[in-house]
A and B are shown apart, each in its own frame.
Chain A
């Protein structure tokens, strides 16, 4: 019996991608099937960056085809990733050189937004994506320190700035433009204008993802981001204790009110691991983040322990994902990053909430 492309397609309809939980065919990942005699070659194009699992998926697909197609000889699947730009609302100006914008937010300060943002960015980059970080915390920029970058950005044309780079990320922060000791004593309109300039006057170079590290709260910066920037989705960071969850709820509700999609919630400082004895303790309470996710029907992306290494490495300018690429902590960050990327790839195919067309008639 001879095989054809349809047989291969059909066989793959029954194989579920462990990351997207969808089969490869409806996930539109299968490309370029070629059958010659009893040899099959095909491409698997994932919508999310996943360098570390390419080999795993290759084995999965090849094994599945070998097991289900009778009379098959050799099977060769080449796996790669391509991040697609998310459809944005009509009328909002796109940001040049950026495919997707992910806002990292929290209601409360001090829950580890910036640390989470930078490690997520590095995790996405480690999976092969082109990633940028924009520090939208005008009053308290922390990305320059966390990424170990100092100095001022260059400009080729006197109008746009080139992003600073380190650890493979493109970075822009108000911290590069002013002295570390200089406070930004600004009212709202100045801060929002600065945000817009940082975003649009930076020459982002072909980014798959731009991670925006937001300041805490639900004020000027957050609102102006929601109104004028084509945000793909937002990630809420919280700690498990009630006082932080209370504010995280407000952050979540704000995004809901302005129709910015919520990708999910990251629980930071879930447990404390004693650096002396290794004892793990829920010092801020257990299960707060998960409870909130269930309550608002959003995805729980993952939880990170309160580990002294995360703090030390961030303060030293080499965040955990690059300082200890093989550690358990990095594994968690990568897992969260993959969940975010998969969700965004899903959203790119969903056009149900695009901005309606506005028609003007002389009637």
Chain B
């Protein structure tokens, strides 16, 4: 049990999930950032190299969050994606390496010629 969160707040208007940890730090994670980095096999694939780039999720919302055991959070996004189980460890990583991970995502998206804008 490395990282134990003490509080989780969903800001539905600004689409930010705020999470604070007992040991180190608090992070503000945009819903889009969480959605495109969902740990689900639908996003990560079953093996490295199988990742599917998630695009057009700029305005994604969160419908529901449910605890999974005492170790993780299952997030239901309003685009129907609900199979990602975000462990405390993973949320902490997403928080502490936010800019690095986010920039890598933007680069990948640019390389693929895709956009954050929702597709019509």
A→B interface (CB under 8 Å): 88-92, 226-228, 256-260, 352-363
B8 proximal to A (CB < 8 A): yes
B70 interfacial by beta-carbon distance below 8 Å:
yes
In the complex, residue of chain A having the shortest beta-carbon distance to the beta carbon of B11: A363
Q: How far is the CA of A362 from the CA of B68 in the complex (A)?
A: 24
Contacts of A91 in B (CB 8 A): 66-67
Taking the nearest CB of chain B, how far is it from the CB of A336, in angstroms? 25
B69 sits at the interface (CB 8 A) = yes
Give a binary string over B1-22; 1 marks a CB under 8 Å from any A CB, 0 the rest. 1001111111111100001001
B102 at the interface (CB under 8 A from A): no
Closest-CB distance, A147 to chain B (whole angstroms): 29
- 11 example contacts (A-B, Cβ-Cβ < 8 A) are as follows A89-B67, A89-B69, A226-B69, A258-B72, A259-B1, A355-B67, A356-B19, A359-B9, A361-B10, A361-B13, A363-B14
Residues of B within 8 A of A89 (CB): 67, 69-70
B70 and A353: CB pair below 8 A? yes
Return the chain A residue nearest B70 by Cβ. Answer: A89
- Residues of A within 8 Å of B5, CB to CB, are 356
Chain B residues within 8 Å of A258, by CB: 69-72
Enumerate chain B residues within 8 angstroms of A353, measured Cβ to Cβ. 1, 4, 70
Q: Which residues of chain A are within 8 angstroms of B67 by Cβ–Cβ distance? A: 89-92, 355, 358
CA of A323 to CA of B7 in the docked complex: distance in angstroms?
51
**Do A360 and B10 have beta carbons less than 8 Å apart?**
yes
CA distance A259 to B67 in the complex (A): 12
What is the bound-complex CA distance between A260 and B72, given in angstroms? 12
Give 8 nearest A-B pairs by CB, closest first: A91-B67, A259-B71, A89-B70, A356-B5, A227-B69, A359-B9, A360-B10, A259-B70
- Say whether A358 contacts B14, CB under 8 Å: no
Please name all residues of chain A whose beta carbon is closer than 8 Å to the beta carbon of B6 when the two chains form the complex: 356
Instruction: Show the binding face of B for A, using Cβ within 8 Å.
Output: 1, 4-14, 19, 22, 65-72, 87-88
- Interface centre among A257, A352, A356, by most chain B C-beta atoms within 10 angstroms, is A356
Complex Cα gap A91–B67 (Å): 6
The distance in angstroms between the C-alpha atoms of A203 and B119, with both chains bound, is 51
List chain A residues, Cβ under 8 A from B7: 356-357, 359
Question: A88 vs B70: C-alpha distance in the bound complex, in angstroms?
Answer: 8
The residue in A90, A92, A259, A359 that gathers the most chain B C-beta atoms within 10 A of its C-beta is A259
Report chain A residues within 8 Å CB of B68. Answer: 227
| Bound CA span A106–B1, Å | 20
Decide: A360 near B1, CB < 8 A? Known: A257-B71, A259-B69: no
Complex interface: chain A residues within 8 A of B87 (CB): 257
Q: A228–B5 Cα gap in the complex (Å)?
A: 19
The reply to whether B11 and A361 form a contact with Cβ atoms under 8 Å apart is yes
Distance in angstroms from B9 CB to nearest chain A CB is: 5
**Contact A359 B71, beta carbon cutoff 8 Å:** no
Given that A356-B5, A357-B8 are contacting pairs, would A362 and B13 also be in contact in the complex, using a CB cutoff of 8 Å?
yes
Cα–Cα, bound, A338→B12 (Å): 49
Q: B65–A358 contact, CB under 8 A?
A: yes
Q: Besides A358-B9, A358-B67, A359-B7, 9 other CB < 8 A contacts?
A: A92-B69, A226-B69, A226-B71, A258-B71, A259-B88, A352-B4, A353-B70, A357-B7, A361-B9
Q: Inside 8 A of A355's CB, which chain B residues have their CB?
A: 67, 70
Chain B nearest CB from A101 CB (Å) reads 12
> What separation, in Å, do the CA atoms of A215 and B69 have in the docked complex?
19
Q: Which residues of B lie under 8 Å from residue A362 when comparing CB positions?
A: 12-13
B6 (CB) vs chain A CBs: closest residue:
A356
B55 to chain A, nearest CB (A): 27
Task: Given the known inter-chain contacts A259-B1, A353-B1, please indicate yes or no for A359 contacting B69, CB distance below 8 A.
Answer: no
Give complex CA distance A357, B5 in Å. Answer: 9
CA distance A363 to B17 in the complex (A): 11
| Distance of A362 Cα from B17 Cα, bound (Å) | 12
**What A residues does B11 contact at CB under 8 A?**
361, 363
Report the Cα distance A89→B73, complex, angstroms.
Answer: 12
In the complex, what distance in Å separates the CA atom of A355 from the CA atom of B19? 13
Cα–Cα, bound, A360→B75 (Å): 13
With both chains docked as a complex, state the minimum distance between the C-beta of A275 and any C-beta of chain B, in angstroms. 44
A69 to B7, CA, bound (A): 48
